[in-house]
Chains A and B, each alone.
Chain A
Amino acid sequence: MSPRLTLPALFATAVLLSACASQKAPATADVAVSQAAVENAAQAGAAELAPAELTSAREKFARANQALKDRDYKLASELATQAQAEAKLAQSKATSAKATSAADAVQDNIRVLREELDRANSVNK
């Protein structure tokens, strides 16, 4: 290697290395965020109310973790982003199922109350 080429080559290597290093921290953060999202979804009851979405999110998270270990930070970041989005979907689906069934229960209760009231009124008249 001629001295004329040594300096640029070293420079290029440094740039590459620093690029790799700079990708490691955000990928780690992304995976951590996706893990938190999966845990939140599980706590919201997604295992029961959005099982497909939660399973997919967990699987993506596991793959992101693996990619992190394999130092494929780009893939880790992508998978973590997908895992986080799917975990959020699982959580919001579980929450909306609970809210909807609560609203339906009160509606049912109202219907029963109305019937009782109508019956009581017709008896008293």
Chain B
Amino acid sequence: MKKTFTQKTVTPLLLSLVLAVTACSSTPVTTSTLDQARTDYTAAQNGSVAQYAPNEFKAATEALNAANTAAANRDDLAKIDQLANLAKTKIATAQEVARTKQAESSLANSKDEQERIRLQARTAEAEAARRNAEQAQRDAEAAKARAEQATAATRDAQAQTSALAAQLAELKAKQTERGMVVTLGDVLFNTDQAVLTSGGMSTVQKLANILRENPDRTVLVEGFTDSTGSTAHNLELSQRRAEAVRAALAQAGIERNRVETRGYGEAYPVAGNNTAGDRQLNRRVEIVLSEAGKPIQARR
């Protein structure tokens, strides 16, 4: 009975004891601090801490190994915590050193980039300054060209004006309030006819030259006679003589619409009609040259 009791109770007791001992030896001792240190270490491993801070990472590894060994040897928990805390501190140090190295390398890159951008900015400034200078140069050249053109135009206008003045002087033109007036005297027409003499043709030719060179001017050709003969005849003769001048100008290449004609007969005498000399002065054709681009005022 006693033997049976012993057998029945001691065997499970032994068994559970054995189990308890095995459980203890197979379950590693750990603390929350050690767990935390291991987590920190894994994070550091996953970052590039070993690469950037090899010495500090090695020291951290050794510190964590010491804590792990203490845990494996089932040292007391305070000792394990102390070693785990040391490991945590060293892992954090390695993290900070790695962070410093990364910041330093980023700083070096940034400084290079900063230099590149500064260079770009300087290049852009120089480029802008060059473009501005070129534009200013072009502007100056354009202004100079315009000034030269204006000067040339003024010179041309002056030359034309003085040429005209010379030509008109040659034709003995007189300045009146209606414009320059060239008078073709009686001697330039055959007697009582509307045919120009060679002298008259030569004068008309010179007038044609003036009109060609001054395309913005027109002429009014006015015919006059003395008081001899019928009024109708005189009107007709004066008109025909004016027309003869227009025909001669047309022959010299002047458009007919630039030449207006009037026959006034014996009206508007320039002298008396008593002497032969005075009557000859009255037999005439007056050619009024317009101002540039302006119409000729009608005779009052």
Residues of A that sit less than 8 Å from B by CB:
78, 81-82, 85-86, 88-89, 92-93, 95-96, 99-100, 102-103, 106-107, 109-110, 113-114, 116-117, 120-121, 124
Write out the residue numbers on chain B whose beta carbons fall within 8 Å of the beta carbon of A107. Answer: 106, 110
Contact of A82 (CB < 8 Å), options: B85, B113, B120: B85
A117 and B120 in contact (CB under 8 A), knowing A82-B85, A106-B111?
yes
Indicate whether B131 reaches chain A with its CB closer than 8 angstroms. yes
A-B contact pairs, 18 of them (CB 8 A): A78-B82, A81-B86, A85-B90, A85-B93, A89-B92, A95-B96, A95-B100, A96-B97, A96-B100, A96-B103, A99-B103, A99-B104, A102-B107, A106-B110, A107-B110, A113-B117, A117-B121, A120-B125
A92/B93 contact (C-beta < 8 A), A82-B86, A110-B114, A120-B125 known: yes
Q: A78-B82, A100-B103, A124-B131 are in contact. Are A88 and B93 (CB under 8 A)?
A: yes
Least distance between B188 CB and chain A CB atoms (Å):
73
User: Nearest 9 CB-CB pairs, A to B?
Assistant: A99-B103, A92-B96, A96-B100, A106-B110, A96-B99, A85-B89, A103-B107, A103-B103, A89-B93
Knowing A82-B85, A85-B86, A106-B114, the reply to whether A99 touches B92 (Cβ < 8 A) is: no
Question: B111 contacts which chain A residues (CB < 8 A)?
Answer: 106
Chain B: interface size category = 20 to 34
**Residue of A with least CB distance to B99:** A96
- Prevailing SS type, chain A contact patch: helix
Contacts of A121 in B (CB 8 A): 124
Cα–Cα, bound, A91→B90 (Å)? 12
CB distance from A26 to the nearest CB of B (A): 17
Contact check, B113 vs A110: say whether CB atoms are below 8 A apart: yes
B124 engages A93 (CB within 8 Å): no
Q: Are B124 and A124 in contact, CB atoms less than 8 angstroms apart? A: yes
In the complex with contacts A85-B93, A117-B124, A121-B124, A92-B100 CB distance below 8 A: yes
Q: Is B256 an interface residue (CB 8 A)?
A: no
Min CB–CB distance A95 → chain B (angstroms): 5
Q: Knowing that A82-B82, A95-B96 touch, tell me 17 more A-B residue pairs with CB under 8 angstroms.
A: A82-B86, A89-B92, A93-B92, A93-B96, A96-B96, A96-B99, A96-B100, A99-B100, A99-B104, A100-B103, A106-B107, A106-B114, A110-B113, A113-B117, A114-B117, A124-B124, A124-B131
What's the minimum C-beta distance from A64 to chain B, rounded to whole angstroms?
A: 13
